[in-house]
Chains A and B, each alone.
Chain A
Amino acid sequence: MRDFLTVFRYELKTQLTKRTAIVTTVILMLVVLVITSLPRFISLFDTGELINETSGIVGDAGYVLPGGAIENAGYVLPGGGTDALLAPIAGDDPAVLFEDRDALTQALRDKDIQVGFVIQENLDYEAIYLDRSLQDSLDTQMAAILTQLKKQQLIEQMGITPEGFAAVEAAQAVGITTVLGRNSVDNYAISFILMFVVYMMVLLYGNSVSTIIAREKDSRTMEILITSTRPSSLILGKVAAAGLSAVIQFGAVVLVTVAGYQFNKHLYPEMVTAMLSGTLTTSYVLSYVFFSFFGFILYLFLYAALGSTVSKMEDLGSATALVQFLFIFGYLIATFAANMPSSAVAVIGSIVPFTSIMVMPLRSAVMTVPWGELILAGALMVLFVMFFAFLSIKIYRWGSLNYGNKTKISRIVKEALRSH
């Protein structure tokens, strides 16, 4: 225990005082602070001009028409734009009106305008682009404008009062939804964010542990260490230190994220706050903490064992590729399980420890997982952690004696378990 604490303290101090770790943490904290404060920055620069521009015009029937709102647009209107109903579409600028489709197309080719609309008598239209980007939705805007105009025409023709039509449009049924188990909609976003935190922690700190051990072996420090104390103290101390430093560094980032969000919460669009304020039930939190913690430790032991198998730093990437692949596979299953939490793949994925680290919390967020599955998955996770802790100690000891040619992982495991 004493040696474990000595290793733990030294490794923790080394990790937390590493310049790269400090710089990375500070940068991450600043990035999340900026991201969570984006609505505040937007509100600071928001002068309200956009709202005025797009407020449109009020038609005879009293409806708001977003006419003249589309910038850099050209129009071909029936009757050359003399129709009082359509005139506001072009706004006050006669330069945006074209005689016919050819003139409009030429203006597009000359890049005088970004989009052209040829509008028919019946208010159907053709939108013409020279090039259209993924984000362009100018034709959708025009569709909305013309739909409004069509409605205005109909109201006038049918002699309906604007108030009457507004009352009809506002009428809707009020419903209440009651979910007895988990409501996937509520928890989907927040559980994905929390899963991503675990994903980042495993990849970053798993690699960190394997690098520390591989470097120890590469620099031949290992022989001094294993002749001074037991390999179990060394491996357990290193893994515990990596785990705690991950919690400290990610904890700092998460705290800043939460603080940034809370500080700017009132400026967030309602849709975003609704997504983020999912109901975190006690059972979900317990499932997340248990499977994330033990799964994280399990992966740290795997990375530690693989770090012991290489003789040179440059071989580390290929040695850890297998476990990286396994982990990313777990991430993909978790993504699948979020949409189909009761499928066989999701159930198996939430029980096998290598994937249950992410799949089980995600299933717990979107459905009520049967107790039997939770207990089986939890028991397997604890057993796997214990077995891989034992195996990584054996492989570390094996690694301290073996330098040189690459050896197959199956042979390493066999030799490590056979020796000592």
Chain B
Amino acid sequence: MDLYVERGEDMQLVVNNITKSFGEKEVLHGVSFTVESGRAMGFLGRNGAGKSTTIRCLMDVFHPDSGNFLLDGSPFKPRSLKIGYLPEERGMYQKNGVLAQLTYFAMLRGASMADAAASANHWIDYFGLGEYKNKKLETLSKGNQQKIQIAQSFLNEPNILILDEPFSGLDPVNAQIFQNAINEFVKEGRLVIFSSHQMSYVEEVCDDVTLIHNGDILLSGDLDLIKLEEGRDKLFLSVLSGDTAWEKALSNAFPALGIIPGDDGLILDTKGRVSQGDIMRWLNEERLTVRRFGLYEPSLNDIFIKKAGD
């Protein structure tokens, strides 16, 4: 078993040019990205984009047709590493006891019986389900079953956590508990990847994002830098005015300016040819009441829709 976190070592997972076909249809066309430990990576994409297939290839559920996965330069072998995995289609033994099966899963991932039981107890308690330890899974509510399924991915305190749509179906309170657990793992220097549709959670939790669309990676990297890049040469302007005549005037004053309607204001694309000061001066001359004017920082949702929207 690897001891990266115990030794305080950093990890780097490289996903290198993965292709995968089902029958005649190629669903992954050379997927590549990099994930660093100590930083949560959000893996984003629309339904059918290739997120789960990529994760299943990573977890050796599917074998890629070409490409490879490298952990610090060596082949990534999930069964010989301390990995927590939450599949998209999650399921556990409905008719078995909660503690017994979590202990079993922990043992299958290499823990001794005592350590497995301790870890299972810890995570059941963490998610506030201590009273259900000896109950059959089928007797728990759907929400509590989901928490147990999430708890199984944290067993044995894995160095690498791979979660496929983990927030799906969680209520806000449980989502917050789960988010805290992920944040703790990231702080401890573990490597965390999770796929999601829910941009708000990704924005709150992730340091890095990778966006996949129709089997191609559209962007990948530091979320703040991506936002900065997507907002480059763009300004946001919101004016208190009863009509839109000023927008026409602005366009006439700065013909090089691209004007894009946004939420509650305009996104101004300066294309590097119009300065923020020139626009500020024009606003003063026109005696317009400015509600908000500054650099434009797109939300992850905006970036997602822009990149992955058809």
Tell me the A residues contacting B by CB distance below 8 Å.
Answer: 3, 6-7, 10, 13-14, 216, 219-221, 223-230, 400-401, 419-420
Contacts and interface: CB of A to CB of B under 8 A. Distances in A.
B258 to A, nearest CB: 47
Nearest to B137: A219
A398 B45 CA distance: 27
Given A10-B107, A229-B79, A420-B63, 17 more contacts: A3-B108, A10-B100, A10-B104, A14-B96, A216-B93, A219-B91, A219-B92, A220-B90, A223-B61, A224-B90, A224-B92, A224-B152, A227-B60, A229-B108, A229-B109, A230-B79, A400-B61
23 contacts: A6-B104, A6-B108, A10-B100, A10-B104, A13-B100, A219-B91, A219-B92, A219-B93, A220-B89, A220-B91, A221-B92, A224-B90, A224-B92, A224-B152, A225-B108, A226-B61, A227-B61, A227-B79, A227-B83, A227-B87, A228-B85, A228-B109, A419-B63
A7 B108 contact: yes
B165 to A, nearest CB: 13
A419 B60 CA distance: 13
A313 to B, nearest CB: 11
Of A3, A10, A230, chain B has the most CB atoms within 10 Å of the CB of: A10
Contacts, number: 57
B301 interface: no
Contacts of B60: 227
Of A13, A221, A229, A401, chain B has the most CB atoms within 10 Å of the CB of: A221
Contacts of A230: 79
Contacts of A229: 79, 108-109
B108 A228 contact: yes
A153 B62 CA distance: 94
A226 B62 CA distance: 11
A419 B78 CA distance: 19
A224 B87 contact: yes
B105 A224 contact: yes
A419 B63 CA distance: 9
A10 B93 CA distance: 12
Interface of B: 59-63, 78-79, 83, 85, 87, 89-94, 96, 100, 104-105, 107-109, 152
A227 B92 contact: no
Given A3-B108, A6-B104, A220-B87, A227 B59 contact: yes
A415 B87 CA distance: 24
Contacts of A400: 61
A16 to B, nearest CB: 13
B61 A224 contact: no
B93 A221 contact: yes
B79 A228 contact: yes
Of B83, B90, B94, B107, chain A has the most CB atoms within 10 Å of the CB of: B107
Contacts of B87: 220, 223-224, 227
A214 to B, nearest CB: 13
Contacts of B59: 227
A268 to B, nearest CB: 43
The 4 closest A-B pairs by CB, nearest first: A220-B91, A219-B91, A228-B108, A223-B87
Contact of A219 (B83, B94, B100): B94
Contacts of A226: 61
A20 B26 CA distance: 47
A322 B32 CA distance: 46
B99 to A, nearest CB: 12
A41 B60 CA distance: 63
Contacts of A14: 96
B261 to A, nearest CB: 44
Contacts of A221: 91-93
Contacts of B108: 3, 6-7, 225, 228-229
Contact of B89 (A6, A216, A223, A228): A223
Contacts of A224: 85, 87, 90-92, 105, 152
A220 B85 CA distance: 13
Contacts of A6: 104, 107-108
A220 B104 CA distance: 16
A396 to B, nearest CB: 13
A133 to B, nearest CB: 48
A312 to B, nearest CB: 13
A218 to B, nearest CB: 8
B92 A401 contact: no
Nearest to A217: B91
B60 to A, nearest CB: 7
A420 B89 CA distance: 23
A14 B78 CA distance: 27
Nearest to B94: A219
A232 B178 CA distance: 33
A400 B63 CA distance: 13
A37 to B, nearest CB: 36
A1 to B, nearest CB: 13
A228 B105 contact: yes
A258 to B, nearest CB: 34
A220 B89 CA distance: 6
Contacts of B78: 227
A222 to B, nearest CB: 8
